[in-house]
Amino acid sequence: MDIATLRANHPEHWKLATAIRVLAMDAVQAANSGHPGMPMGMADVATVLFSKHLKFDAKAPRWADRDRFVLSAGHGSMLLYALLYLTGYEQATLDQIKSFRQWGSRMAGHPEYGHLEGVETTTGPLGQGISTAVGMAMAEKSMAARFGKKVVDHRIWVIAGDGCLMEGISQEAIGLAGKQQLDNLVVLWDDNNITIDGRVSVADITDQKARFAASGWTVLACDGHDPEDIERALSAAETAKGPVLVDCKTIIGFGAPHKADSHAAHGAPLGAEEIAATKEIYGWPYGPFEIPAEIKSAWEAIGSKGAADHAEWQVRFEALSGAKQAEFERQVTHGVSKKLATAIRAFKKAQSEAAPKVATRKASEMVLAAVNPVLPETMGGSADLTGSNLTLTPGLGDFSAENRKGRYIRYGIREHGMAAAMNGLYLHGGVRPYGGTFFCFTDYARGAMRLSALMGVPAVYVMTHDSIGLGEDGPTHQPVEHLAMCRATPNTWTFRPADVIETAEAWELALSSERTPSVLALSRQNLPTLRTKHTTQNLTAKGAYVLEEAAGKRQAILMATGSEVEIAMKARDILQSQAIGTRVVSVPCMELFAAQDEAYRRRVLPAGAVRVAVEAAVQQPWDRWLMGERGSEKKAGFVGMTGFGASAPANELYQHFGITPEAIAEKVKSLL
Amino acid sequence: MDIATLRANHPEHWKLATAIRVLAMDAVQAANSGHPGMPMGMADVATVLFSKHLKFDAKAPRWADRDRFVLSAGHGSMLLYALLYLTGYEQATLDQIKSFRQWGSRMAGHPEYGHLEGVETTTGPLGQGISTAVGMAMAEKSMAARFGKKVVDHRIWVIAGDGCLMEGISQEAIGLAGKQQLDNLVVLWDDNNITIDGRVSVADITDQKARFAASGWTVLACDGHDPEDIERALSAAETAKGPVLVDCKTIIGFGAPHKADSHAAHGAPLGAEEIAATKEIYGWPYGPFEIPAEIKSAWEAIGSKGAADHAEWQVRFEALSGAKQAEFERQVTHGVSKKLATAIRAFKKAQSEAAPKVATRKASEMVLAAVNPVLPETMGGSADLTGSNLTLTPGLGDFSAENRKGRYIRYGIREHGMAAAMNGLYLHGGVRPYGGTFFCFTDYARGAMRLSALMGVPAVYVMTHDSIGLGEDGPTHQPVEHLAMCRATPNTWTFRPADVIETAEAWELALSSERTPSVLALSRQNLPTLRTKHTTQNLTAKGAYVLEEAAGKRQAILMATGSEVEIAMKARDILQSQAIGTRVVSVPCMELFAAQDEAYRRRVLPAGAVRVAVEAAVQQPWDRWLMGERGSEKKAGFVGMTGFGASAPANELYQHFGITPEAIAEKVKSLL
């Protein structure tokens, strides 16, 4: 629909939508950077969505039963910010819009979760929003099954662009949502046929509608500038089978006389002249950032119309038993049940006595078997490696269209999609997600794992087969740099537990984390229980601690993690037998150790002794603990990997790469 | 087709295919690990492919015009190893098969490029093979356009499994191949409906045929156990339009009485009993690893039948001019033209005089403009960020179905697919690829970038917008941990040049690298030329060097990279003005510096002085250079990032995060 027809036939809609467009133009112009074209193109769709379909109450942005709106095409952030401002979200002020993209503004270049109420997830890296939304949709289904449709019954609406759909992660999301038949998920595709390099056809000829249909989606279409057609499509979407794609044909930079329908409208201010000409075409005589009171009021009415729904919901919610209400609140706000600590304590006591020799991936399964029954909010899964990751415990049941009470998600061979879905499961509320793959395939999931860290989503990544210890599968499957990668990433806890006890402690920390994701790097190979003396204290929470003190004068300190702690202990035996007093420090989490006060760090790593770190990975993260923290280069050594691994049985690899008790002892002696 | 019919109707085929199956069973059993089910399922398809379609000469595995065979489902490595042994590849001996998955064997758990002739690329991480094959197919088209169909006319055949197709990267490959209409690419889908967690339907209901068709592929199907039907499909594939998917319906573990058609056949030895029962069903009375001479001879005849094609090709090749032959050979074997050094030298001379103030991404474009015209083998591209990455230079032309002489690939919004395609472009021979995206989206491309390093493919990753210096787009787009990640990865050169001269030097090293990929981390923001005194020597090759010596007594050494070198230079001005003699060391490539001899490292970083490193990223990779290498903790400081960035103009971010000349000077003084 062209502008003249739109203005003539839908004057009220036109005013509402134009308010979005001009705010986007003005804010990008004022910031001198940003993306005006997408908000201008999708303003009509967004206006229909917010005014007629989206269930929300602008004054209660955290209302649990609200619809979620995810702007997967995050560069079009001004679309979202304009909507939040116009509908009356308290934090979304006009001053904030004026400070778009400036230091301290809640309105960052891309929507940042936690900066501004109404931003449901961080987007910007393309494809993340749509994939995160799949997790939100699963969380809604799970909560509805557990608490009832009367209090959980909402939709996830996504706006995604061509970029989102070209990213590989989108296929993982599409496949997962199709299999799960998530009929509470609607993706509005901003089909403007423009990418940064030009027309979409420069790089892609995919028939997106056929592609979505191939994975079990309902596919609809509309003229994205015709309010009636949009309304028809969105109504149809609400009753369609399975997840829904709505192909919204739009024009990027709609109305800009020289830049519409061109990548010139995508990622830069339109310029004062083009803005003036566009406003002329819009019939918008107002100054920058000026929204007539009448239009603002109309938008605010939209923002408050959900208040009635909200009030009705409140009545239904209060009809639940008090215990059920409390449990609902706890799960939605991610409160940590006291049952966790109790379960972990009992587990540790039993296992420190039983002292099993098990792989830490197996230990992880044992912990989960103790914890999952008492934490109804956990939802586990694996990227098609259930029997290897050992992430499934009895009684969870597969989550599926037939069993929404199931708590185990068969993610398929989709590491990236799994990680993004975990973000969505958590952000929705009501679910604490964990998911497994091989540690090496952190590589595939990185994009979404970084967003866990950036958003402060305490997802738990169960990363098994964490070193050359996986053996014969060879270097493509053997992480060597991945511990360094995770440790270099801000706000990420990288746990590498040494035995069943540390594994339990790591899980306790991971599941009670408030805003830090955890990576559990777990062994394929069996490891002895080293912590056979029970303590209720969570020693892993200290990040590093003295596992075994030196006998006699302390001449050396061995630091190690995971499967190498056992090797370090054997090296200590050798050294002690030669009267070289050797302390062994287990370092299950460097980040937590770094967060301890200096006095504690100094006690664990006193000056003077030779220090040798042992880890079947690259040295980079160890330099601080070897040469810093009162260490010195002349007394520091490392036993680990300097390159990629190889294909052979694990024991042979440890021999060939020289990660042995003997090599460690020799290294110590060479430094004494 | 069932076994009885197959044996009865196709006895010769049956024997050939069974030889593959039994070798796979026996080798996995002997190794006590591996994946027998896939080779058993795809043996019929592979037999038809190798005997009737694949153009190859087992005695000349590097013949430039051979068809490429890519086992994307790399876990089924024994399929490939059996084929290479049976057809008579010299390195693929029976002893090698017997040492499958053992230390030192050429036959690793997954096919490893460079270990064994006939392995065209490393596979194992799912989805990589199919995506790498797209690059190979583009290289074939490019070379054919440049050297003629008479000497370049072959196909890329891929075997991919359900796992490959579920990984997101496959969508990027499918989209790219469809757009490029690569009719020299045939993907044989091992449609066995089994993944590790069970039936494919546990996690996916995608109609793969419709999905491929949606991206412009020709889709065919066959009974993967019926040689005539396979033959019909492969013949049709050779004349079809665009890239081809052949849906090969197969049974995993074909013939195993208790494990066929089940994930039990996927990833573990069948066991002696099941193997015996299977051989009984096969009518195969021979012992482990025993292949009757008659069958081996028949396979060897297949392996040598391409020799005639090869000889004919040789005649056609020798009909080319001597210069053309030499150039062909050079490009196929990746020989480095002397014109590169000449062009770089001239460029450096001119630019050290002109001393432009340009972003290093712009500097990179200037280098490419000088280099691309003299190196016909370069093929550039970008993941839809051409105008930002500045990877396109005049005259390259878009590579497309209409213009196979084009040297610029519009990869679309597909970072992972781009990286894998670059691996394929190089591995095919004839092309030296580079490709761009934002440095932060290293996250998306990691899986394939790691394979560049593991395989020794010197692809060039042009990673622009390399820090908070990108400004307003905010933390989702601002790398802080990515330098650490790249530096932690073995066999990867991470360049972060400080000005136009270092950028040119980095490009020279990247384009002459024989087996190390390069990451060029380039600034968005303008940087002054610091190297205004011309030298023909490539100082970046040293990894780090003294950019500016201390005036007076040397009390401090500042180390910095990229955009922070300018800031360090200004800090030096402050310090020198306070009579604190300060050396500035530019560190464009830590890996190359680490490779220098100790004497050089000692000259650059002498003991005694205070050391402060400056980089708008996390500290982790710097500890070695601050506290190691004769440094000490008490005299070491770091000015950089400790967490994620923020959305604001770049200059403000540098102020707020304290990466300023003043902060550096203060840090030095606090340590003196």
- pLDDT digits 0-9 by tens, B142-182: 999 999 999 999 999 999 999 999 999 999 999 999 999 99
Domains B3-310 and B338-528 share a fold: yes
% residues pLDDT > 70 (chain B):
100
Give the Cβ contact number of residue B91 at 10 Å. Answer: 15
Residues 92..131 of A with a Cβ closer than 8 Å to B: which? 101-105, 108-110, 112, 122-126
Which of chain B's residues have a Cβ under 8 Å away from the Cβ of A80? none
pLDDT tens sequence across B79-124: 999 999 999 999 999 999 999 999 999 999 999 999 999 999 999 9
**Is B115 part of any known ligand binding site?**
no
Nearest CB to A647 within list B108, B471, B646? B108
Q: Which of B274, B377, B415, B508 is catalytic?
A: B415
B415 a catalytic residue: yes
Judged by a CB distance cut-off of 8 A, whether residue A205 touches chain B is yes
Could you tell me the sign of the dihedral formed by the alpha carbons of A229, A231, A232, A236, in that order? positive
Q: Are A266 and A38 in contact (CB under 8 A)?
A: yes
Residues 6+ apart with CB under 8 A from A408: A379, A380, A381, A391, A392, A396, A397, A398, A399
Q: Determine the pLDDT at residue A554.
A: 98
Residue A643 C-alpha, separation from nearest chain B C-alpha, in angstroms: 5
Q: Determine the pLDDT at residue B606.
A: 98
3-class secondary structure per residue, B166-208: HCHHHHHHHHHHHHHCCCCEEEEEEECCEECCEEHHHCCCCCH
Topology of A3-310 in CATH? Rossmann fold (3.40.50)
d(CA A331, CA A376): 9
Q: Determine the pLDDT at residue B249.
A: 98
Helix (H, G, I), strand (E, B) or coil at B304: helix
Judged by a CB distance cut-off of 8 A, whether residue A439 touches chain B is no
Judged by a CB distance cut-off of 8 A, whether residue A479 touches chain B is no
Which of chain A's residues have a Cβ under 8 Å away from the Cβ of B441? 125, 447
Q: Do A647 and B124 touch (CB under 8 A)?
A: no
Q: Are A253 and A41 in contact (CB under 8 A)?
A: yes
d(CA B378, CA B394): 13
Phi, psi (deg, nearest 5) at residue B215: -105, 20
Nearest CB to B103 within list A102, A112, A652? A652
Strands A518-522 and A460-464: parallel
Residue B173 C-alpha, separation from nearest chain A C-alpha, in angstroms: 9
Which of chain B's residues have a Cβ under 8 Å away from the Cβ of A620? 484, 487-488, 620-621, 623-624
Q: Do A197 and B110 touch (CB under 8 A)?
A: no
C-alpha count within 13 angstroms, C-beta hemisphere, residue A242: 20
Q: Determine the pLDDT at residue A358.
A: 98
pLDDT bin (cut points 50, 70, 90) of residue B128 is: very high
Pick the CATH number of A338-528 from 1.10.10.10, 3.40.50.970, 2.102.10.10, 3.40.50.880: 3.40.50.970
Give the Cβ contact number of residue B7 at 10 Å. Answer: 17
Helix (H, G, I), strand (E, B) or coil at A79: helix
Q: Which of A365, A415, A564, A566 is catalytic?
A: A415
Give the Cβ contact number of residue B339 at 10 Å. Answer: 13
Which among B414, B390, B371 has a CA at the least distance from the CA of B135? B414
DSSP string across B91-123: T--HHHHHTTTSTT-SS-SS--TTTSTT--S--
Known binding residues of A for Mg(2+) are: 162, 192, 194
ipTM score of the complex?
Answer: 0.98
Nearest CA in chain B to A651: B103
Please report, for chain B, the start and end positions of each structural domain, with discontinuous segments joined by +.
Answer: 3-310, 338-528, 543-670
Give the Cβ contact number of residue A293 at 10 Å. Answer: 8
Average pLDDT of chain B to the nearest whole number: 98
Nearest CB to B628 within list A101, A473, A623? A623
**Which stretches in chain A have pLDDT values below 70?**
none
Question: How far does CA B318 lie from the centroid of its chain?
Answer: 32
Q: Do A163 and B102 touch (CB under 8 A)?
A: no
Tracing tokens 């002292």 back to the chain, one arrives at A355
pLDDT bin (cut points 50, 70, 90) of residue B511 is: very high
Q: Is B51 exposed, middle or buried (0-12, 13-18, 19+ CB in 10 A)?
A: buried
Judged by a CB distance cut-off of 8 A, whether residue A446 touches chain B is yes
d(CA B472, CA A112): 12
Looking at residues B48-59, what average pLDDT do you find? 98
d(CA A184, CA A148): 15
Which among B120, B469, B390 has a CA at the least distance from the CA of A196? B390
Residue B475 C-alpha, separation from nearest chain A C-alpha, in angstroms: 8
Q: Do B204 and A179 touch (CB under 8 A)?
A: yes
Rg (chain B; Cα; Å): 28
Chain B interface, mutation test: which of A464, A470, A472, A602, most B Cβ atoms within 10 Å? A472
**Is B593 part of any known ligand binding site?**
no
Q: Are B45 and B248 in contact (CB under 8 A)?
A: yes
Chain B interface, mutation test: which of A97, A123, A174, A197, most B Cβ atoms within 10 Å? A197
% residues pLDDT > 90 (chain B):
100
d(CA B528, CA B358): 7
Which among B620, B631, B639, B630 has a CA at the least distance from the CA of B487? B620
Bridge partners for A527 per DSSP: A358
Which among A328, A309, A291, A313 has a CA at the least distance from the CA of A58? A309
d(CA A42, CA A50): 12
Q: Is B554 exposed, middle or buried (0-12, 13-18, 19+ CB in 10 A)?
A: middle
Tell me, what amino acid is at A352? S
Strands A408-410 and A378-382: parallel
Q: pTM here?
A: 0.98
Angle among Cα B344, B348, B353 to the nearest 5 degrees reads 155
Bridge partners for A548 per DSSP: A584
Bridge partners for B435 per DSSP: B461
Topology of A543-670 in CATH? Rossmann fold (3.40.50)
pLDDT tens sequence across A611-626: 999 999 999 999 999 9
Residues 609..628 of A with a Cβ closer than 8 Å to B: which? 618-621, 623-624, 627-628
CB pairs under 8 A between A and B: 368
**Strands, E assignment, B360-499:** 378-382, 408-410, 432-438, 460-464, 493-495
- Which uninterrupted H or E stretch holds A510? helix A500-512
Q: Do B476 and A112 touch (CB under 8 A)?
A: yes
C-alpha count within 13 angstroms, C-beta hemisphere, residue A124: 28
d(CA A51, CA A45): 10
Which among A159, A152, A169 has a CA at the least distance from the CA of A327? A152
Q: Determine the pLDDT at residue A188.
A: 98
Q: Do B167 and A414 touch (CB under 8 A)?
A: yes
Judged by a CB distance cut-off of 8 A, whether residue B552 touches chain A is no
